[in-house]
Structure 1
């Protein structure tokens, strides 16, 4: 799977890239700002993306997420505060809350890879908050 990383914290982006590549996937690029992310999207469209909400140029991750959703590219947010996400999760599959563990990322990546490949029968790992589950729980 070709994966894009949109994260302005360089160390986190590097760790995420290592985990993605260790799982046998390819990182098509990293972006630290919304503007960089849009340029990368045009140059190397991914099959999936990890997107932080707060980027170098402000809270542009949500805008970029919407651009991914418009192109039917699945993605998850990686954020320190998922409560900042809009009610519709901006079209994301879900979110991984920071701080996360590398094991949590690996489990989420395995699940995401299976779902993107068409295997909808898996249960999501605890590290991944699915948008539909979040909305159902918080609408009560």
Structure 2
């Protein structure tokens, strides 16, 4: 799976990149702003994206998410405050709350990879808040 990472905290972006690659996926690019994210979307055509809400150019991750959804690219938000995600999650599959554990991210990535690949038999991990259950605040796993 080709994965794009939209995160303005370089250390977190690098850790996530490492986790994605260790899971056998390819990172198509890192973006720290909405402008870089738009360039990456058009240049690399990722299969999936992790998107932080607050980027270098402000709280523009939601706009990036909407563009990904419009392009048919599934994504999840990775945020320290998932309450800032609009109702309906702006087309995201769900969200992973910071701080997250590497094990939690690995479990979420396994689930996301299965979903993107068309396998809906996997159970969502506790580290992933699904969009359809966000209003109820439920976590699964």
> How large is the Cα RMSD of the aligned pairs?
0.7
Where does the alignment leave 5 or more consecutive residues of structure 2 unmatched?
Answer: none
- Tell me the residue number matched to 1:38: 38
1:17 maps to which residue?
A: 17
State the match for 2:84 in structure 1: 84
- Determine the structure 2 residue equivalent to 1:75: 75
Q: Distance in 1 between matches of 2:71 and 2:38?
A: 12
TM-score when normalising by structure 1: 0.96
Runs of 4+ in structure 1 over 6 Å off: none
Residue pairs, 1:1-140, within 5 angstroms: 1-135=1-135, 137=136
Instruction: Give a deviation string over 1:38-94, Cα, whole Å, max 9, x none.
Output: 011111110000000000000110000000000110000000000000001000000
Report the Cα offset of residue 121 of structure 1. Answer: 1.6
**Secondary structure of residue in 2 paired with 1:122:** coil
What is the TM-score of this pair, normalised by structure 2?
Answer: 0.96
The secondary structure found in structure 1 opposite 2:77 is strand
Q: Distance in 1 between the 2:115 and 2:55 partners?
A: 27
